[in-house]
Structure 1
Amino acid sequence: MYFWTFLLVFPLLADAFDEEEEENCPYGVCSAAPPRNLTIAPFGSGLCTGDDVIIEHILHDYNKLELPGGGHVKVSVEIWVQEVSKIIEITSEFELDIYVTERWTDPALAYAHLNPCKSNMSVDGRTILEKIWNPHACFVNSKLANIHSSPFKNIFLQIYSNGSIWYNYRIKLTGPCSNTLRTFPIDQQRCMLFYESFTHNHDQVEMEWIDTVPPITIMKGNITLPDYVLVDFSASTELRLYPPGIFNELIATFTFQRLYGFYILQVYVPAYISVFISWVSFYLGAEQVPSRTTVGVNSLLALTLTALASYASSAPQG
């Protein structure tokens, strides 16, 4: 009886083993995966600790409300300008896409003692950043700011074995410009961005420009718009007094020079020609009233039509 039962059950077991083998060996190619090290690997064992184990270990009992190192954290900032989209003169603002990099050290996130497989870890910035301390810095004078989210949130977070944090994100923002037209069309636009910690004053967090490389980098080499060209940019620092205390503020200044060739040819040259033609009436005799009237009226009419025609296309617009 056991023999007949074995004969009935054996084909079913064989089919089950064949299905499991097909799942583990797709396309008939089998590869033995190395066993994962789910614990802290001791030094000298020939093994190393994986990133997931390290992340779980350093975030265990981590307090993100505690200032790293007991306070007065130094945060180095760097800006890469990817593109300046436009300058809107009516509202005195400009739009640009930039990369912002922040660097600081958090001793509580150091993991060199855990025998890591590598000296730095690239982690999911969207989730890990909410679990660790960060300076909560932003552009306090921006009118609009959004982190790019196509095809995902453009946030990069890297943790080094000594506790150094490298945080980078790509943002599109709109900032203010100082718009004066007294020297139009040979004027300049000066646009400034103020970057500071929104939740920590100078005693807790010291914001500073990075000093190992230029703090502001133009990724394209030069930026030219239809009406402007970027001629200068600079980085500076100052202390700003608010009711909660003194805050450390980083200032990025961009200076744009107007391209005035179009305005000279389309506005100023026709206007000068009309004025010169009107002077012809002074060389006509006093008795030639119809000729002098015709020259004067035509010059005035030409000047008026030139000004009206060129206003819509050449005057400052948004």
Structure 2
Amino acid sequence: MRSRPALPFPHPALAFWRMALALWLSLIAAFPLLAEESARPLPSGVYLPLPVHLSIRVLNVSRINETLGEASMMIEVTERWTNPGEAFDPKITGFNRFDYVGQEATDRLAAMWTPGTEIENQISEPRTQSTALTLRADGTVTRIRRLDADFRVGIDMTTFPFDQQRLTLSMVSPRYPAEQMIYVMNDIDRELSAIEKDISATNWTAHALDVVMERFHGWNARPFVRVLATATVERDWQYFVLPIFVPFLAVMSVSIFILWAKVSLIGDKAPITYSALLALAALSFTYESSFPGSISMNSPIAFMVSLGYFYLILVLLLDIVLIYANYPGKARYSHLEPAIRATIRFSVPAVFALICFSAALRAMA
């Protein structure tokens, strides 16, 4: 039986699977190298878990975007740990410590073990970044990183413009679980962790920085330690009284004219009311463009504006009912109409003002 001659080229499907297998084997071969680059072995001669002291300083808050939930901050993160492999004899070297700055520090850190701390809610590459490194004779390693970047933060506008915002930075080491490495803070670390009082964000005042640690479970349900540094900043509400509340009160004063003025003085009251409604709608758009989030994020001023629409319509309806509606008992008890009108003139605006004042007072508390 004659054998079939071999094809000069392999079948296309067979060539594809050979290429896929070769690529897979190359990835398997390269994976240990990638793993070694991302997670170096822990320093030898230390008790596990290896403690890493951490402190953080918020040097500046330059921008807070309420609608996007972003904050631009300049921060400084200081980490300190002990690596016996980096110890040296000061009698031989003549120095008790070595300091490295900039690219020299980055190159030196690339050749040694680091905790691999990452800021989870950082959303942009740093605009500026600098690194400093100190090695002491006993093997103590201190790394200081200063960076200016954007971070994803939680924004709560339910008390605008009397609000305080808590800008939280979440730091974690995804390489090492809690049984290998943990973050610790002593009194010195907590004293160093602070926020500068003078920040450049417009109409904001810095208050305090709180640092807490929590444990969470990552891959394969292994426990990890997360550091949460929360900077509390307060809005300077005094700057918002004139541009927010004075125009609102001016629009709402139309209701006083509707309830108190005679028809012969101001004419038909319906066009005036709907003009006030349009002015209130324009005012709400002005609020949102000038103070992003003031209307769209359920703030007290948003509540007041929404209540204002209902209030103006209610005032117009009450006036129409008292003048034109033939409700039961109107002819028989005609002497009560002036008393009802006098009561409504005072009570309805007073109730509306009391509700608005209570909403503002609750936000300030």
Alpha-carbon offset, residue 117 of structure 1: 0.6
Deviation, 1:128, is 1.4
1:206-244: CA deviation from partner (whole Å, max 9, x where unpaired) = 1123432414133x4332521422223211111111124
CA shift digits 1:22-44 (9 cap, x unpaired): xxxxxxxxxxxxxxxxxxxxxxx
Counterpart amino acid of residue 209 in structure 2: F
What CA distance in whole angstroms lies between the structure 2 residues aligned with 1:237 and 1:229? 25
C-alpha contact (below 8 Å) 2:194/2:209 kept by paired residues: no
Closer, same or farther in 2 for the Cα pair 1:264/1:140, shift >3 Å? same
Give the SS at the match of 2:67. Answer: coil
- Give the count of matched residue pairs: 249
Q: 2:210 aligns with which of 203, 216, 234?
A: 234
Aligned partner (choices 73, 83, 95) of residue 50 of structure 2: 73
Deviations 1:79-115 (A, max 9, x none): 1222212111121011111121110011122113753
Answer yes or no: is 1:260 the counterpart of 2:234: no
**Structure 1 residue 201: deviation in Å?**
0.7
Q: What SS does the aligned partner of 1:111 have? A: coil
Question: Of Structure 1 and Structure 2, which has the larger fraction of its residues in strand?
Answer: 1
Cα displacement (A) at 1:183: 2.2
Q: Which runs of 5+ in 1 are unaligned?
A: 1-63
Aligned partners of 2:66 and 2:292 also within 8 Å: no
1:136 partnered with 2:112: no
Change (3 A) 1:142 1:190: same
Q: 1: distance between equivalents of 2:44 and 2:73?
A: 32
Q: Secondary structure at the match of 2:188?
A: coil
Q: Deviations over 1:51-96 (max 9, x none)?
A: xxxxxxxxxxxxx624343432110011122221211112101111
Which amino acid letter does the alignment assign opposite residue 181 of structure 2? V
Q: Could you report, residue by residue, the CA deviation over 1:149-194 in whole angstroms, capped at 9, with x for unpaired residues?
A: 5xxxx22111111111111121123222222222222222222111
Tell me the SS of whatever aligns to 1:84. Answer: strand
Moved more, 104-113 or 90-99: 104-113
RMSD: 2.6
Q: Match for residue 194 of structure 1?
A: 170
Find the counterpart in structure 1 of residue 128 from structure 2: 148
CA distance, structure 2, for counterparts of residue 187 and residue 140 of structure 1: 25
> What secondary structure sits across from 2:267 in the alignment?
helix
Partner of 1:207: 183
Aligned with residue 89 of structure 1, among 66, 72, 84: 66
Is the 2:83–2:139 Cα contact (8 Å) retained in structure 1?
yes
Q: Which has the higher helix share?
A: 2
> Residue in 2 aligned with 1:290?
267
Counterpart position of 1:15:
none
Residues 303 and 75 of structure 1, relative CA distance in 2, 3 Å threshold: same
User: In 2 relative to 1, CA 174–76 (structure 1 residues): closer, same or farther, beyond 3 Å?
Assistant: same
Inter-CA distance 289–265: structure 2 relative to 1 (3 Å threshold) = closer
Matched with 1:47 is none
Q: Distance in 1 between matches of 2:128 and 2:44?
A: 29
Q: Which residue of 2 aligns with 1:160?
A: 136
Whether 2:99 is the aligned partner of 1:122: answer: yes
Per-residue deviation, 1:295 = 4.9
User: What amino acid maps onto 2:110 in structure 1?
Assistant: E
Which moved further from structure 2: 87-96 or 115-124?
115-124
Matched AA of 2:211:
A
Distance (Å, rounded) in 2 between the aligned partners of 1:163 and 1:172: 30
Counterpart position of 1:269? 246
Structure 1-normalised TM-score? 0.70
Local SS of the residue matching 2:45 = helix
Identity of aligned residues (%): 21
> 2: distance between equivalents of 1:157 and 1:102?
10
CA distance in 2, matches of 1:198, 1:307: 45
Q: TM-score, normalised by structure 2?
A: 0.61
CA spacing shift, 1:208–1:223, aligned 2, 3 Å: same
